[in-house]
Protein backbone atom coordinates (compact mmCIF):
# COMPACT_ATOMS: atom_id res chain seq x y z
CA UNK A 1 0.00 0.00 0.00
CA UNK A 2 2.96 2.33 -0.48
CA UNK A 3 2.27 5.45 -2.49
CA UNK A 4 4.93 7.76 -3.91
CA UNK A 5 3.53 10.81 -2.10
CA UNK A 6 0.46 11.93 -0.27
CA UNK A 7 -2.35 11.71 -2.79
CA UNK A 8 -5.58 13.65 -2.73
CA UNK A 9 -8.96 12.43 -3.97
CA UNK A 10 -12.27 14.27 -4.05
CA UNK A 11 -15.40 12.44 -2.91
CA UNK A 12 -18.65 14.03 -4.07
CA UNK A 13 -21.20 12.50 -1.71
CA UNK A 14 -24.86 13.43 -2.20
CA UNK A 15 -27.44 12.36 0.34
CA UNK A 16 -31.16 12.91 0.63
CA UNK A 17 -30.74 15.84 3.05
CA UNK A 18 -27.36 17.30 2.07
CA UNK A 19 -24.41 16.95 -0.23
CA UNK A 20 -20.74 17.57 0.34
CA UNK A 21 -17.39 17.59 -1.38
CA UNK A 22 -14.90 15.78 0.85
CA UNK A 23 -11.15 15.87 0.27
CA UNK A 24 -9.41 12.61 1.12
CA UNK A 25 -5.64 12.66 1.67
CA UNK A 26 -4.05 9.21 1.60
CA UNK A 27 -0.43 8.44 2.53
CA UNK A 28 -0.50 4.68 2.01
CA UNK A 29 -1.51 3.80 5.57
CA UNK A 30 -3.95 6.42 6.79
CA UNK A 31 -6.71 8.55 5.39
CA UNK A 32 -7.56 12.09 6.41
CA UNK A 33 -10.88 13.61 5.36
CA UNK A 34 -11.70 17.29 5.22
CA UNK A 35 -14.90 18.97 4.13
CA UNK A 36 -14.40 21.31 1.18
CA UNK A 37 -18.00 22.24 0.44
CA UNK A 38 -21.42 21.39 1.88
CA UNK A 39 -24.85 22.20 0.53
CA UNK A 40 -28.47 21.36 1.36
CA UNK A 41 -30.52 18.91 -0.65
CA UNK A 42 -34.18 18.08 -0.60
CA UNK A 43 -37.28 17.68 -2.75
CA UNK A 44 -38.91 20.42 -4.77
CA UNK A 45 -42.68 20.22 -5.17
CA UNK A 46 -43.99 21.23 -8.60
CA UNK A 47 -47.48 20.84 -10.07
CA UNK A 48 -46.18 17.65 -11.69
CA UNK A 49 -45.06 16.15 -8.39
CA UNK A 50 -42.03 15.84 -6.12
CA UNK A 51 -38.68 16.33 -7.87
CA UNK A 52 -34.96 16.73 -7.28
CA UNK A 53 -33.37 20.00 -8.35
CA UNK A 54 -30.72 18.35 -10.51
CA UNK A 55 -29.42 21.58 -12.04
CA UNK A 56 -28.80 23.17 -8.64
CA UNK A 57 -27.07 20.00 -7.47
CA UNK A 58 -24.89 20.11 -10.59
CA UNK A 59 -23.96 23.71 -9.79
CA UNK A 60 -23.01 22.69 -6.24
CA UNK A 61 -20.92 19.78 -7.54
CA UNK A 62 -18.96 22.16 -9.74
CA UNK A 63 -18.53 24.58 -6.84
CA UNK A 64 -17.04 21.77 -4.75
CA UNK A 65 -14.76 20.78 -7.62
CA UNK A 66 -13.60 24.34 -8.13
CA UNK A 67 -12.78 24.82 -4.44
CA UNK A 68 -10.89 21.52 -4.24
CA UNK A 69 -8.86 22.24 -7.38
CA UNK A 70 -8.04 25.76 -6.23
CA UNK A 71 -6.76 24.57 -2.83
CA UNK A 72 -5.36 21.11 -3.56
CA UNK A 73 -5.04 20.82 -7.33
CA UNK A 74 -1.34 19.84 -7.32
CA UNK A 75 -2.00 16.57 -5.45
CA UNK A 76 -5.55 15.89 -6.67
CA UNK A 77 -5.60 12.73 -8.79
CA UNK A 78 -9.20 11.49 -8.78
CA UNK A 79 -12.86 12.40 -8.47
CA UNK A 80 -15.60 10.01 -7.39
CA UNK A 81 -19.32 10.64 -7.02
CA UNK A 82 -22.03 8.74 -5.15
CA UNK A 83 -25.69 9.31 -4.28
CA UNK A 84 -28.75 7.54 -2.90
CA UNK A 85 -30.33 4.80 -5.01
CA UNK A 86 -33.36 4.25 -7.28
CA UNK A 87 -33.89 7.76 -8.72
CA UNK A 88 -32.89 8.59 -12.28
CA UNK A 89 -32.87 11.02 -15.17
CA UNK A 90 -33.86 10.37 -18.78
CA UNK A 91 -31.91 11.78 -21.72
CA UNK A 92 -33.21 12.33 -25.23
CA UNK A 93 -31.29 11.22 -28.32
CA UNK A 94 -29.19 14.40 -28.17
CA UNK A 95 -28.11 13.63 -24.61
CA UNK A 96 -30.30 16.36 -23.10
CA UNK A 97 -32.03 15.81 -19.75
CA UNK A 98 -35.75 15.63 -20.57
CA UNK A 99 -37.14 16.77 -17.20
CA UNK A 100 -36.20 17.16 -13.55
CA UNK A 101 -35.78 13.70 -11.99
CA UNK A 102 -38.59 12.61 -9.70
CA UNK A 103 -38.07 12.14 -5.98
CA UNK A 104 -38.59 8.58 -4.74
CA UNK A 105 -41.24 9.75 -2.26
CA UNK A 106 -43.47 11.11 -5.04
CA UNK A 107 -46.94 9.56 -5.04
CA UNK A 108 -46.83 8.45 -8.70
CA UNK A 109 -45.72 4.98 -7.57
CA UNK A 110 -48.75 4.44 -5.34
CA UNK A 111 -50.27 1.10 -6.34
CA UNK A 112 -47.50 0.32 -8.82
CA UNK A 113 -46.15 -2.71 -6.97
CA UNK A 114 -49.56 -4.36 -7.17
CA UNK A 115 -49.84 -3.36 -10.84
CA UNK A 116 -46.47 -4.97 -11.50
CA UNK A 117 -47.70 -8.21 -9.92
CA UNK A 118 -50.62 -8.22 -12.35
CA UNK A 119 -48.15 -8.21 -15.21
CA UNK A 120 -45.48 -10.49 -13.76
CA UNK A 121 -45.97 -12.63 -10.63
CA UNK A 122 -44.22 -11.43 -7.47
CA UNK A 123 -42.19 -14.63 -7.25
CA UNK A 124 -40.94 -14.21 -10.81
CA UNK A 125 -39.88 -10.59 -10.29
CA UNK A 126 -37.86 -11.61 -7.25
CA UNK A 127 -36.40 -14.62 -9.05
CA UNK A 128 -35.09 -12.32 -11.79
CA UNK A 129 -33.85 -9.45 -9.61
CA UNK A 130 -33.42 -10.58 -6.00
CA UNK A 131 -34.47 -7.13 -4.82
CA UNK A 132 -36.76 -6.08 -1.96
CA UNK A 133 -40.19 -4.88 -3.05
CA UNK A 134 -40.39 -1.16 -2.41
CA UNK A 135 -42.63 1.23 -4.33
CA UNK A 136 -39.71 3.65 -4.59
CA UNK A 137 -37.70 1.31 -6.83
CA UNK A 138 -36.92 2.51 -10.35
CA UNK A 139 -38.89 -0.39 -11.81
CA UNK A 140 -42.15 0.98 -10.37
CA UNK A 141 -41.29 4.58 -11.20
CA UNK A 142 -40.79 3.53 -14.83
CA UNK A 143 -43.93 1.41 -14.76
CA UNK A 144 -45.96 4.43 -13.64
CA UNK A 145 -44.59 6.33 -16.63
CA UNK A 146 -45.44 3.49 -19.01
CA UNK A 147 -49.00 3.25 -17.69
CA UNK A 148 -49.57 7.01 -17.96
CA UNK A 149 -48.15 7.13 -21.51
CA UNK A 150 -45.51 9.58 -20.37
CA UNK A 151 -44.15 11.65 -23.28
CA UNK A 152 -40.78 11.68 -21.49
CA UNK A 153 -40.58 7.89 -21.71
CA UNK A 154 -41.59 7.99 -25.36
CA UNK A 155 -38.67 10.22 -26.32
CA UNK A 156 -36.14 8.81 -23.85
CA UNK A 157 -32.94 7.45 -25.34
CA UNK A 158 -30.91 6.80 -22.17
CA UNK A 159 -31.71 5.93 -18.55
CA UNK A 160 -29.13 7.12 -16.02
CA UNK A 161 -29.37 6.85 -12.24
CA UNK A 162 -28.58 10.05 -10.36
CA UNK A 163 -24.82 9.52 -9.95
CA UNK A 164 -24.55 8.22 -13.50
CA UNK A 165 -26.29 11.39 -14.72
CA UNK A 166 -23.76 13.60 -12.97
CA UNK A 167 -20.90 11.42 -14.20
CA UNK A 168 -22.23 11.85 -17.73
CA UNK A 169 -22.19 15.61 -17.28
CA UNK A 170 -18.64 15.36 -15.90
CA UNK A 171 -17.22 13.16 -18.65
CA UNK A 172 -19.69 12.76 -21.52
CA UNK A 173 -19.82 8.98 -20.94
CA UNK A 174 -23.20 7.27 -20.59
CA UNK A 175 -22.89 4.27 -18.29
CA UNK A 176 -24.50 2.82 -15.16
CA UNK A 177 -22.27 1.63 -12.35
CA UNK A 178 -23.02 -1.85 -11.00
CA UNK A 179 -23.87 -1.09 -7.34
CA UNK A 180 -26.33 1.67 -8.23
CA UNK A 181 -27.80 -0.33 -11.13
CA UNK A 182 -28.80 -3.12 -8.75
CA UNK A 183 -30.96 -0.75 -6.67
CA UNK A 184 -33.31 -0.21 -9.61
CA UNK A 185 -34.88 -3.71 -9.53
CA UNK A 186 -34.19 -3.73 -13.27
CA UNK A 187 -30.95 -5.73 -12.94
CA UNK A 188 -30.56 -9.52 -13.09
CA UNK A 189 -27.69 -10.52 -10.77
CA UNK A 190 -27.49 -14.03 -12.18
CA UNK A 191 -27.20 -12.85 -15.75
CA UNK A 192 -24.94 -9.96 -14.75
CA UNK A 193 -26.90 -7.57 -16.95
CA UNK A 194 -30.19 -5.69 -17.19
CA UNK A 195 -33.29 -7.86 -16.67
CA UNK A 196 -34.43 -7.15 -20.23
CA UNK A 197 -37.30 -9.69 -20.46
CA UNK A 198 -38.81 -8.38 -17.20
CA UNK A 199 -38.39 -4.76 -18.28
CA UNK A 200 -40.18 -5.45 -21.57
CA UNK A 201 -43.00 -7.39 -19.90
CA UNK A 202 -43.64 -4.27 -17.80
CA UNK A 203 -44.06 -2.24 -20.99
CA UNK A 204 -40.85 -0.30 -20.37
CA UNK A 205 -38.53 0.27 -23.35
CA UNK A 206 -35.37 -1.78 -22.76
CA UNK A 207 -33.20 0.09 -25.27
CA UNK A 208 -32.79 3.03 -22.87
CA UNK A 209 -30.56 1.09 -20.46
CA UNK A 210 -26.85 1.72 -21.10
CA UNK A 211 -23.71 -0.33 -20.43
CA UNK A 212 -22.96 -1.38 -16.87
CA UNK A 213 -19.48 -0.75 -15.47
CA UNK A 214 -17.96 -2.31 -12.32
CA UNK A 215 -17.13 -0.45 -9.09
CA UNK A 216 -13.77 1.22 -9.49
CA UNK A 217 -14.16 1.78 -13.24
CA UNK A 218 -12.25 4.80 -14.55
CA UNK A 219 -14.86 6.61 -16.65
CA UNK A 220 -12.38 9.01 -18.23
CA UNK A 221 -11.10 12.50 -17.70
CA UNK A 222 -13.22 15.51 -16.92
CA UNK A 223 -14.62 16.94 -20.13
CA UNK A 224 -12.82 20.05 -21.47
CA UNK A 225 -15.85 22.29 -20.87
CA UNK A 226 -16.16 21.26 -17.21
CA UNK A 227 -12.39 21.46 -16.71
CA UNK A 228 -12.36 25.00 -18.06
CA UNK A 229 -15.22 26.01 -15.78
CA UNK A 230 -13.77 24.57 -12.56
CA UNK A 231 -10.14 25.42 -13.29
CA UNK A 232 -8.58 21.98 -13.68
CA UNK A 233 -7.79 19.38 -16.30
CA UNK A 234 -6.55 15.82 -16.63
CA UNK A 235 -8.37 14.56 -13.55
CA UNK A 236 -9.67 10.99 -13.64
CA UNK A 237 -13.38 10.58 -12.96
CA UNK A 238 -13.92 7.24 -11.24
CA UNK A 239 -17.12 5.30 -10.53
CA UNK A 240 -16.05 4.20 -7.03
CA UNK A 241 -19.24 2.31 -6.34
CA UNK A 242 -21.85 4.97 -7.00
CA UNK A 243 -24.41 3.84 -4.42
CA UNK A 244 -23.64 5.51 -1.10
CA UNK A 245 -24.43 2.39 0.93
CA UNK A 246 -22.04 0.24 -1.11
CA UNK A 247 -19.25 2.64 -0.21
CA UNK A 248 -20.29 2.87 3.44
CA UNK A 249 -20.11 -0.92 3.69
CA UNK A 250 -16.68 -0.93 2.02
CA UNK A 251 -15.49 1.34 4.85
CA UNK A 252 -16.81 -0.82 7.71
CA UNK A 253 -13.73 -1.33 9.94
CA UNK A 254 -14.45 -5.02 10.46
CA UNK A 255 -11.78 -7.67 10.95
CA UNK A 256 -14.00 -10.76 10.74
CA UNK A 257 -16.56 -11.78 8.13
CA UNK A 258 -19.63 -12.49 10.29
CA UNK A 259 -20.40 -8.90 11.22
CA UNK A 260 -23.71 -7.19 10.57
CA UNK A 261 -23.69 -3.59 9.39
CA UNK A 262 -26.15 -0.77 9.74
CA UNK A 263 -25.68 2.20 7.45
CA UNK A 264 -27.49 4.73 9.60
CA UNK A 265 -28.95 7.93 8.26
CA UNK A 266 -32.22 8.94 6.61
CA UNK A 267 -32.56 5.21 5.92
CA UNK A 268 -31.26 2.36 8.04
CA UNK A 269 -29.80 -0.34 5.84
CA UNK A 270 -29.24 -3.48 7.89
CA UNK A 271 -27.34 -6.32 6.32
CA UNK A 272 -24.48 -8.75 5.86
CA UNK A 273 -21.84 -9.11 3.17
CA UNK A 274 -22.08 -12.16 0.89
CA UNK A 275 -20.25 -13.38 -2.21
CA UNK A 276 -23.28 -14.50 -4.23
CA UNK A 277 -26.91 -13.34 -4.26
CA UNK A 278 -29.31 -15.44 -2.20
CA UNK A 279 -32.53 -15.77 -4.18
CA UNK A 280 -34.84 -18.41 -2.76
CA UNK A 281 -38.19 -18.84 -1.06
CA UNK A 282 -36.79 -17.76 2.31
CA UNK A 283 -35.27 -14.49 1.09
CA UNK A 284 -38.47 -13.83 -0.87
CA UNK A 285 -40.63 -14.43 2.21
CA UNK A 286 -38.48 -12.04 4.27
CA UNK A 287 -38.49 -9.51 1.41
CA UNK A 288 -34.75 -9.04 1.64
CA UNK A 289 -32.57 -7.48 -1.04
CA UNK A 290 -29.39 -8.48 -2.88
CA UNK A 291 -27.75 -5.20 -3.87
CA UNK A 292 -24.37 -4.94 -5.49
CA UNK A 293 -21.33 -4.25 -3.37
CA UNK A 294 -17.68 -3.65 -4.17
CA UNK A 295 -14.92 -6.19 -4.59
CA UNK A 296 -17.19 -8.88 -6.03
CA UNK A 297 -19.65 -8.84 -3.13
CA UNK A 298 -23.37 -8.42 -2.65
CA UNK A 299 -25.12 -6.62 0.18
CA UNK A 300 -27.71 -8.96 1.65
CA UNK A 301 -29.81 -6.42 3.48
CA UNK A 302 -33.16 -4.96 4.27
CA UNK A 303 -33.97 -1.30 3.70
CA UNK A 304 -35.74 0.03 6.76
CA UNK A 305 -36.85 3.53 7.57
CA UNK A 306 -34.22 5.37 9.59
CA UNK A 307 -33.81 8.83 11.05
CA UNK A 308 -36.17 10.15 8.37
CA UNK A 309 -38.93 9.96 10.98
CA UNK A 310 -37.00 12.18 13.40
CA UNK A 311 -36.17 14.53 10.54
CA UNK A 312 -39.85 14.86 9.69
CA UNK A 313 -40.77 15.42 13.35
CA UNK A 314 -38.20 18.21 13.48
CA UNK A 315 -39.58 19.78 10.29
CA UNK A 316 -43.13 19.60 11.66
CA UNK A 317 -42.17 21.35 14.88
CA UNK A 318 -40.18 23.96 12.94
CA UNK A 319 -43.29 24.76 10.88
CA UNK A 320 -45.11 25.24 14.18
CA UNK A 321 -42.49 27.78 15.28
CA UNK A 322 -40.28 25.55 17.45
CA UNK A 323 -36.87 25.01 15.88
CA UNK A 324 -34.84 22.33 17.65
CA UNK A 325 -31.43 20.94 16.76
CA UNK A 326 -31.00 17.16 16.53
CA UNK A 327 -28.92 17.32 19.71
CA UNK A 328 -31.79 19.13 21.45
CA UNK A 329 -34.23 16.42 20.42
CA UNK A 330 -31.89 13.61 21.49
CA UNK A 331 -31.38 15.20 24.91
CA UNK A 332 -35.14 15.56 25.32
CA UNK A 333 -35.56 11.90 24.36
CA UNK A 334 -32.97 10.81 26.92
CA UNK A 335 -35.07 12.46 29.66
CA UNK A 336 -38.33 10.78 28.62
CA UNK A 337 -39.61 7.57 30.27
CA UNK A 338 -38.22 4.41 28.58
CA UNK A 339 -40.03 1.81 26.50
CA UNK A 340 -43.55 3.16 26.82
CA UNK A 341 -44.79 2.48 23.27
CA UNK A 342 -43.39 0.94 20.09
CA UNK A 343 -44.28 1.03 16.40
CA UNK A 344 -43.07 -0.37 13.11
CA UNK A 345 -40.93 2.35 11.46
CA UNK A 346 -41.81 0.85 8.06
CA UNK A 347 -45.55 1.29 8.50
CA UNK A 348 -46.76 2.94 5.29
CA UNK A 349 -48.03 6.07 7.09
CA UNK A 350 -44.44 6.95 8.06
CA UNK A 351 -43.04 6.93 4.52
CA UNK A 352 -44.51 10.20 3.23
CA UNK A 353 -43.70 13.76 4.32
CA UNK A 354 -46.13 15.26 6.81
CA UNK A 355 -47.06 15.62 10.47
CA UNK A 356 -45.07 12.69 11.82
CA UNK A 357 -45.72 13.31 15.54
CA UNK A 358 -49.47 13.17 14.90
CA UNK A 359 -49.09 9.91 12.94
CA UNK A 360 -47.03 8.31 15.71
CA UNK A 361 -49.59 9.30 18.33
CA UNK A 362 -52.42 7.99 16.16
CA UNK A 363 -50.66 4.65 15.68
CA UNK A 364 -50.04 4.26 19.41
CA UNK A 365 -53.66 5.10 20.22
CA UNK A 366 -54.99 2.70 17.58
CA UNK A 367 -52.84 -0.15 18.95
CA UNK A 368 -53.85 0.45 22.57
CA UNK A 369 -50.51 1.80 23.77
CA UNK A 370 -49.67 4.88 25.84
CA UNK A 371 -49.73 7.92 23.58
CA UNK A 372 -46.46 9.93 23.74
CA UNK A 373 -47.33 13.55 24.49
CA UNK A 374 -44.07 15.45 24.91
CA UNK A 375 -41.61 15.97 22.10
CA UNK A 376 -38.99 14.00 24.01
CA UNK A 377 -41.40 11.08 24.42
CA UNK A 378 -42.16 11.10 20.68
CA UNK A 379 -38.48 11.08 19.71
CA UNK A 380 -37.65 8.39 22.28
CA UNK A 381 -40.47 6.27 20.89
CA UNK A 382 -38.94 6.65 17.41
CA UNK A 383 -35.39 5.76 18.49
CA UNK A 384 -36.47 2.75 20.55
CA UNK A 385 -38.68 1.48 17.72
CA UNK A 386 -35.81 1.82 15.22
CA UNK A 387 -33.50 -0.18 17.50
CA UNK A 388 -36.11 -2.91 17.98
CA UNK A 389 -36.66 -3.09 14.22
CA UNK A 390 -32.89 -3.62 13.82
CA UNK A 391 -33.21 -6.73 16.00
CA UNK A 392 -36.10 -8.02 13.92
CA UNK A 393 -34.13 -7.61 10.70
CA UNK A 394 -30.92 -9.13 12.08
CA UNK A 395 -32.73 -12.20 13.38
CA UNK A 396 -34.42 -12.63 10.00
CA UNK A 397 -31.10 -12.40 8.17
CA UNK A 398 -29.52 -14.94 10.52
CA UNK A 399 -32.35 -17.39 9.91
CA UNK A 400 -31.70 -17.26 6.16
CA UNK A 401 -27.90 -17.26 6.36
CA UNK A 402 -27.77 -19.95 9.05
CA UNK A 403 -25.12 -18.16 11.08
CA UNK A 404 -24.82 -15.71 13.96
CA UNK A 405 -24.00 -12.13 13.04
CA UNK A 406 -21.88 -10.20 15.52
CA UNK A 407 -20.77 -7.52 16.22
CA UNK A 408 -23.06 -4.83 14.87
CA UNK A 409 -21.08 -2.18 12.98
CA UNK A 410 -22.96 1.10 12.62
CA UNK A 411 -21.53 3.57 10.13
CA UNK A 412 -22.66 6.88 8.68
CA UNK A 413 -24.19 10.06 10.02
CA UNK A 414 -26.49 8.22 12.41
CA UNK A 415 -23.49 7.14 14.49
CA UNK A 416 -23.52 10.63 15.99
CA UNK A 417 -26.76 9.74 17.81
CA UNK A 418 -25.22 8.01 20.81
CA UNK A 419 -28.63 7.35 22.34
CA UNK A 420 -29.75 5.37 19.29
CA UNK A 421 -26.45 3.46 19.27
CA UNK A 422 -26.95 2.37 22.89
CA UNK A 423 -30.56 1.44 22.15
CA UNK A 424 -29.32 -0.68 19.21
CA UNK A 425 -26.99 -2.61 21.55
CA UNK A 426 -29.76 -3.03 24.13
CA UNK A 427 -32.39 -4.13 21.63
CA UNK A 428 -30.20 -6.59 19.72
CA UNK A 429 -28.33 -7.92 22.76
CA UNK A 430 -25.07 -7.59 20.84
CA UNK A 431 -22.01 -5.37 21.08
CA UNK A 432 -22.24 -2.35 18.79
CA UNK A 433 -19.21 -0.66 17.23
CA UNK A 434 -19.78 2.76 15.66
CA UNK A 435 -17.69 4.68 13.15
CA UNK A 436 -16.62 6.10 10.89
CA UNK A 437 -19.18 8.89 10.64
CA UNK A 438 -18.03 9.70 7.11
CA UNK A 439 -18.05 6.07 6.01
CA UNK A 440 -19.40 6.80 2.53
CA UNK A 441 -16.78 9.47 1.84
CA UNK A 442 -14.02 7.21 3.19
CA UNK A 443 -15.20 4.32 1.01
CA UNK A 444 -15.45 6.64 -1.99
CA UNK A 445 -11.87 7.93 -1.60
CA UNK A 446 -10.34 4.53 -0.91
CA UNK A 447 -12.16 2.87 -3.81
CA UNK A 448 -10.67 5.59 -6.02
CA UNK A 449 -7.25 4.69 -4.63
CA UNK A 450 -7.95 1.03 -5.39
CA UNK A 451 -9.03 1.89 -8.93
CA UNK A 452 -5.74 3.70 -9.56
CA UNK A 453 -3.62 0.92 -8.08
CA UNK A 454 -2.69 2.48 -4.73
CA UNK A 455 -4.64 -0.11 -2.68
CA UNK A 456 -4.90 -3.79 -3.48
CA UNK A 457 -8.21 -5.01 -2.01
CA UNK A 458 -11.29 -4.22 0.05
CA UNK A 459 -9.53 -5.88 2.99
CA UNK A 460 -6.76 -3.29 2.70
CA UNK A 461 -9.40 -0.53 2.53
CA UNK A 462 -10.77 -1.71 5.87
CA UNK A 463 -7.27 -1.80 7.36
CA UNK A 464 -6.75 1.83 6.32
CA UNK A 465 -10.09 2.74 7.94
CA UNK A 466 -9.05 0.99 11.18
CA UNK A 467 -5.77 2.92 11.10
CA UNK A 468 -7.56 6.20 10.48
CA UNK A 469 -10.64 6.46 12.67
CA UNK A 470 -11.61 6.10 16.29
CA UNK A 471 -14.52 3.78 16.91
CA UNK A 472 -16.87 3.77 19.90
CA UNK A 473 -18.14 0.53 21.43
CA UNK A 474 -21.47 -0.01 23.21
CA UNK A 475 -22.40 -3.03 25.34
CA UNK A 476 -26.03 -4.16 25.77
CA UNK A 477 -27.90 -3.52 29.02
CA UNK A 478 -31.45 -4.04 30.33
CA UNK A 479 -32.09 -7.27 28.41
CA UNK A 480 -35.37 -8.22 30.13
CA UNK A 481 -37.01 -4.83 29.54
CA UNK A 482 -35.93 -4.80 25.90
CA UNK A 483 -37.12 -8.38 25.37
CA UNK A 484 -40.53 -7.32 26.64
CA UNK A 485 -40.55 -4.32 24.30
CA UNK A 486 -39.55 -6.59 21.41
CA UNK A 487 -42.52 -8.86 22.12
CA UNK A 488 -44.73 -5.77 21.89
CA UNK A 489 -43.13 -4.80 18.56
CA UNK A 490 -43.90 -8.27 17.19
CA UNK A 491 -47.55 -7.77 18.08
CA UNK A 492 -47.84 -4.50 16.15
CA UNK A 493 -45.33 -5.05 13.34
CA UNK A 494 -47.93 -6.32 10.91
CA UNK A 495 -50.61 -3.81 11.85
CA UNK A 496 -51.73 -2.02 8.69
Q: What is the pLDDT of residues 165-221, one digit of tens each?
A: 999 999 999 999 999 999 999 999 999 999 999 999 999 999 999 999 999 999 999
Q: Is residue 244 flagged as an active site residue?
A: yes
Q: Are residues 214 and 276 in the same domain?
A: no
- The pLDDT confidence band at residue 496, using thresholds 50, 70 and 90, is low
pLDDT at position 4, please? 53
Q: Are residues 174 and 257 in the same domain?
A: no
Supply φ then ψ for residue 231, to 5 degrees: 90, 25
Task: Determine how β-strand 267-274 pairs with β-strand 289-292.
Answer: unpaired
Query: Average per-residue pLDDT in the chain?
Result: 96
Query: At residue 3, does pLDDT exceed 60?
Result: no
Query: At residue 98, does pLDDT exceed 70?
Result: yes
Q: Are residues 291 and 212 in the same domain?
A: no
- Residue 452 falls inside a structural domain: no
**Domains in the chain: how many in total?**
2
* Cβ atoms of 385 and 268 closer than 8 Å: no
- Residue 1 falls inside a structural domain: no
Q: Are residues 26 and 109 in the same domain?
A: yes
* The last residue of a domain, from among 220, 242, 264: 242
- The pLDDT confidence band at residue 247, using thresholds 50, 70 and 90, is very high
Q: Among the options 13, 87, 188, 244, which is catalytic?
A: 244
* Cβ atoms of 156 and 92 closer than 8 Å: yes
Q: Containing domain of residue 283, as a range?
A: 252-435+457-496
- Residue 450 falls inside a structural domain: no
| Cα 236 to Cα 357: distance, rounded to the nearest angstrom | 46
Straight-line distance from the first to the last Cα atom of the chain, in angstroms, rounded to the nearest whole number:
52
Encode pLDDT of 397-418 as tens digits. Answer: 999 999 999 999 999 999 999 9
User: Which whole number is the average pLDDT over 371-390?
Assistant: 98
Q: Are residues 307 and 231 in the same domain?
A: no
Q: Are residues 220 and 269 in the same domain?
A: no
* The last residue of a domain, from among 185, 207, 242: 242
* The last residue of a domain, from among 184, 219, 242: 242
Encode pLDDT of 112-149 as tens digits. Answer: 999 999 999 999 999 999 999 999 999 999 999 999 99
Q: Are residues 272 and 237 in the same domain?
A: no
Domain of 391, CATH number, reads: 3.30.420.40
Q: Are residues 207 and 292 in the same domain?
A: no
* Cβ atoms of 39 and 18 closer than 8 Å: yes
- Residue 356 falls inside a structural domain: yes
- Residue 447 falls inside a structural domain: no
- Residue 440 falls inside a structural domain: no
Q: Are residues 235 and 263 in the same domain?
A: no
Q: Are residues 222 and 309 in the same domain?
A: no
- Residue 451 falls inside a structural domain: no
Q: Are residues 184 and 274 in the same domain?
A: no
Q: Are residues 51 and 82 in the same domain?
A: yes
Encode pLDDT of 29-60 as tens digits. Answer: 999 999 999 999 999 999 999 999 999 999 99
pTM of the model: 0.92
Amino acid sequence: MMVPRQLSFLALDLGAESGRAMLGQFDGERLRLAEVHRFPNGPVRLPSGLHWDALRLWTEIKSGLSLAIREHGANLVGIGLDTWGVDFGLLDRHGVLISDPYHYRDSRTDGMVQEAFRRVPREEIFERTGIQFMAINSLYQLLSMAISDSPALDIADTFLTMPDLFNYWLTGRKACEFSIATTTQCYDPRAGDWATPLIEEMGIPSHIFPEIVPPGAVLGEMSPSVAEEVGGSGLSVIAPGCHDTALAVAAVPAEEGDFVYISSGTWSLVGAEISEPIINEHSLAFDVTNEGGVGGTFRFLKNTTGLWIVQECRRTWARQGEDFSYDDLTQMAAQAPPLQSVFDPDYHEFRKPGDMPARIRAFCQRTGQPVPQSKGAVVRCVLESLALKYRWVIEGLEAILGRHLEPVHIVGGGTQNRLLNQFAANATGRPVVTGPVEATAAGNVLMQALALGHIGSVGEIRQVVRNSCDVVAYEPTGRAEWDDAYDRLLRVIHVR
